[in-house]
Amino acid sequence: MPVEHDEFRSVARHELQGDAIAVLSGRPLLPNTGIPLNLDWVRDVRVNTSAVERRAQSHIARRTVKKEWQAAWLLRAITCMDLTTLSGDDTDERVRRLCAKGRHPLQQELEQKLGIEELQIKVAAICVYHAFVETALRALEGSGVHVAAVSAGFPAGLSPLAERVNEIRRSVEAGAQEIDVVITRAHVFGGRWQALYDEVAAFKQACGSAHMKVILGTGDLLTLRNVGRASVVAMMAGADFIKTSTGKEPTNATLPVGLVMTRAIREYAQQTGMAVGFKPAGGIRTAKQSIDWLAMIKEELGPSWMRAEMFRFGASGLLGDIERQLEHQATGRYSADYRHPMA
């Protein structure tokens, strides 16, 4: 059945309101500035893989959100979305169209049906290659939507360190407000934690005031213990966000990986009093999956993480399915995919 406007607006406002700062167990947290590398902490990281996998399976089975609350959570998912185009055939025109979609992710007719025009729903950021930073900035001017640039030898991270650092600086100088960097996975395989720490710290310095999201490439890291240890080192080195994947690996964001990373974030916050954001990326394509991830964030880190400042989806195809679900909420009918083009 279609949602009732007044009731839905009330629920949506409630869900879209967030704490101004991250809070854990009633304790306000500071932004992450990093700490000296603590190798004992890193070596003490242990992960019970079978237990994590069982927990992820049970999470999907027992967590659900219905009716107007589901629609409100889907609106929240849109506001936490980094709309992304990272293809070899990207063009300025494609980026401009994606930016237009980011500014107005829902069709005006659908907003009117839901009665949410006043909420001014928009995505958190548009994520592009360095070559398109200036194009995106012009297209998004005055919108409040950030421009994120992938950097540091994306997606493999195997170019010389000096080149990767310079690439970050160029994107920041071009105006990117957020930088998504990739680590050298070989540092993780070899247990070279000092090298990994120094690499991420160099990236952080190059980012300056821009927010740094550190991509671990979890699909390449082989074990959940590696994921946990790499997460801790990246946070110690000053990561503002830790991110699962480039979207180019054979396996990208999975809930077991998400559980390991969010629990590392929680432990880091408890030990240091500093908050780090989380971004799952790659393979998240359905509205149901977005709800699963939001529910996990709420359970593991609390409601203050359920906002764009602390949580992002890296997505290129997710928005279309969310639009279809919202259309169903508004009208009781599903619309065809072609009615919700990305760009």
Which pLDDT score is estimated for 1? 44
Query: pLDDT tens digit string along 191-200?
Result: 999 999 999 9
Quote the domain boundaries for residue 195: 5-332
CA distance 104 to 118: 13
pLDDT in tens, 89-146: 999 999 999 999 999 999 999 999 888 888 899 999 999 999 999 999 999 999 999 9
Tell whether 102 is covered by a domain: yes
Higher pLDDT, 311 or 9: 311
Domain count, the chain: 1
Distance CA 51, CA 9 (A): 39
**pLDDT at site 279:** 98
Residue 275 burial (C-beta neighbours within 10 Å; 0-12, 13-18, 19+): buried
Residue 342 maps to a domain: no
**How far apart are the C-alpha atoms of 236 and 36, rounded to whole Å?**
6
The pLDDT of residue 167 is above 50: yes
DSSP-derived secondary structure letter, 123: -
- Ramachandran assignment for 82, one of left (phi > 0), alpha (psi -120 to 50 degrees), beta (any other): beta
Tens digits of per-residue pLDDT, 224-268? 999 999 999 999 999 999 999 998 888 889 999 999 999 999 999
Helices and strands, counts by H and E, the chain: 14, 12
What DSSP line would sit under 293-312, residue for residue?
A: HHHHHHHHT-GGGSSTTTB-
Domain-embedded: residue 174: yes
Q: What angle is formed at CA 285 by the lines to CA 282 and CA 287, rounded to 5 degrees?
A: 135
Of 64, 75, 66, 65, nearest in space to 9 by CA: 75
Residue 338 lies in a domain: no
The pLDDT, as a whole number, for residue 63 is 64
Q: 147: which strand partners?
A: 126
Residue 343 lies in a domain: no
Beta bridge partners of 315: 83
Beta carbons within 8 Å of 75's beta carbon, 6+ residues apart: 12, 15, 16, 116, 119, 121, 326
Residue 23 is inside which H or E element, if any? strand 23-24
**Is 341 inside any structural domain?**
no
Q: Which residues are identified as catalytic?
A: 180, 243, 279
Output the six-digit token pair for 259. Answer: 């559980």
Can you name the residues that pair with 313 across neighbouring β-strands? 81
**Residue 268 contacts residue 276 (beta carbons within 8 Å):** yes
- Compute the distance between CA of residue 139 and CA of residue 125 in angstroms, rounded to an integer: 12
Return the residue matching tokens 């409601």: 303
Structure tokens at 105: 């992710």
CATH classification of the domain holding 120: 3.20.20.70
Secondary structure percentages of the chain, helix, strand, coil, to 5? 50, 10, 35
The two beta strands, 81-84 and 313-315, are parallel
Helix (H, G, I), strand (E, B) or coil at 83: strand
Crossing angle for the helix pair 67-79 and 5-16, nearest 10 degrees?
Answer: 40
Cα dihedral across residues 222, 225, 228, 229: positive or negative: negative
Q: How far is C-alpha 48 from the geometric centre of its chain's CA atoms?
A: 25
76 domain residue, yes or no: yes
Q: Is residue 256 reached through a cis peptide bond, with omega within 30 degrees of 0 on the bond before it?
A: no
Please report where in the chains the tokens 């049970």 appear, as a residue: 58
337 domain-assigned:
no
Mean pLDDT score of the chain, rounded to an integer?
91
| CA 91 to each of CA 85, 94, 97, 128, 129: distance values in angstroms, whole numbers, following the listed order | 10, 5, 10, 10, 10
- Residues 25-84 have pLDDT tens digits of 888 999 999 999 999 999 999 999 999 999 999 888 776 777 788 889 999 999 999 999
